[in-house]
Structure formats: C-alpha cells, structure tokens
Structure 1
C-alpha cells in the first residue's frame, strides 16, 4: 500500500485545489489543457472561486512527506449558475483530482469515501459529479455507488444516494 494520509482541506489549500481541477481536466493520457485554458472555462473556475465558502467541504491526500497528492471537495451551485454535474440546488457536486503518479493506488477512492461520509454527516441526501466519456475513473465512481442520471456534451452526470 502506498504511504499517504487524508486530512481535511483548509482555506490555504486553494492553489492546490486549482492544480487538481487541472489534473481532472487532463485525465486522458497525452491531454494538454494548460491551467489558463482550463480556468478560461467559467464552470471549471466555479469549482474553485472563493474557496472555502461556508458550505464547501473537502479532503486532501498527502504523501509521507506531507506533500499534497490529491484532493476531493464539494460545492453547492445554484440553478442559475450550474456546474457540469448539477442536478438540483442543495445537492453538492464532488470535484476530485489525483496526481498521475498516485492514480490507481487507492488515493481517489479514499478521498471519495472521506468526502461522501462528510456529506452524509452534514445532512445531504445525495451527492453528484460529472465525468467525461471514456474517463477511467467512471468505473471507480460506479463501484462507489454513483449511477448515471444524465448525459450531455460528452459527459455523464452521476449521483450517489447517501442514505
């Protein structure tokens, strides 16, 4: 097992979360969406702008030297400013990114479990996410109880019931 631990995300993690938005956007081998291109998209910007708002929650995975290697967090979006995985106001959207060298080592799963447990504890009945078609993480999301509820623009919106 890889040497890492999970800690709550803090306001000072904003820059790293930005890096993880870029990692999530560049999930495909050979993808080259540089940070300015990713954040030119208002939806990707919305996943991070103003971190950490009162309703935001998240976790950061750190290696044995306490260097951040991945993060998962959720945000609430309004119907008039939806993000990629929006299903309804009051349903948090999960965002996750893991550095490539740490993928397929359980880091993403551990982050997702910590975050879904936190969302359940916070009183949310469900959580949503968006995943591009072909993304290898799709099987991880299914194995963690997420189901596709819609498809749009080459993306699946997936929801997990937290009951």
Structure 2
C-alpha cells in the first residue's frame, strides 16, 4: 500500500525538520503563508518542538527512496498548566503530523499516523490525542483511523483514539 517511502525513528537531530513539519501543519491550507519564524516563536506552537527530544517524546520521520525526510509525526506529553490544542489529560500524549506539500495525498500521513499510534501504545499510553480544524481535509483521515471527537472548540476539535 505504501510505496516509494518508508519511516524511521525520529531522533534528537530531527528537531529542525520537525519544526518544518510543524510549520506545514500550521499552514495546511493551500496557500498557507504564516512565516516559519512566526509559527515557531508563537507560544501555542513552540511547545510541540521546544527541547525536542525529551524522555517522553517519540515519533517517526517519513523518508523518500533517497532517504530525504518528507514528513513526520510525533507525540509529546504536555502539562495541564501548558496544554496544547489537543490536550485531553496529562497522561495522554498529543500527536502532531506534518507532510511536505509535494508529498501529500500519497498515504504518507496515514502511514505516519498508524506508526505513531502503535509507538504510543508500545510506550504504554492507552490513548493519544490531536487537534484538527473543522475544515481540514485530514479530519477524514483521522476518523478513518479510529479517532473520534472528544471536545469541540470554536474552529477546531480535539480527537482521541485508543492505542490498543
């Protein structure tokens, strides 16, 4: 099903690339133009990569046939006093997914999502959460992979999935 690309574990040295994928996730709309520095310096976004890779952080990087990174999915544990967009509980890691625009709609996001859900389960987490804007096309992907809405916001929803 997944051809032309594979995944590898995310390493500490992937922090800059994860930042790139965070910018892609924030600019998911066609023509999204929030500058990289604006996304990465905003308090609401930098919590997803600041100090990567802490002991509870883990993820995967998708690479093309030449080993070039093309997407990433990772999770972080965020404290209740500094929650992320998809915060559910201090014991539930929050998932972030980003895929380079040229590689979207080829199954990379699905492959990364499945892999990180399994990874979270292997770490002993019973659930994993994420946040998605209501008009984001990835919402359909998340639903098809077993995520369900656990909380609704003004423009975005929090979705949760069991890892086992």
Q: TM-score, normalised by structure 1?
A: 0.97
Unaligned runs of 5+ in 2: none
Q: How does 1:36-75 map to 2 (within 5 A)?
A: 36-75=37-76
Once residues 53 and 122 of structure 1 are traced to their aligned partners in structure 2, the CA distance between those partners, rounded to angstroms, is 14
SS in 1 for 2:121: helix
The alpha-carbon deviation at position 2 of structure 1 amounts to 4.0
What RMSD in Å do the two structures reach over aligned CA positions?
A: 0.9
SS in 1 for 2:117: helix
Q: How does 1:70-109 map to 2 (within 5 A)?
A: 70-109=71-110
Deviations 1:129-152 (A, max 9, x none): 001120000000000000011122
Partner of residue 6, structure 2 = 5
Once residues 43 and 155 of structure 2 are traced to their aligned partners in structure 1, the CA distance between those partners, rounded to angstroms, is 18
SS in 1 for 2:78: coil
Q: TM-score, normalised by structure 2?
A: 0.97
Unaligned runs of 5+ in 1: none
Corresponding position: 1:32 with 2:33:
yes
The alpha-carbon deviation at position 161 of structure 1 amounts to 1.2
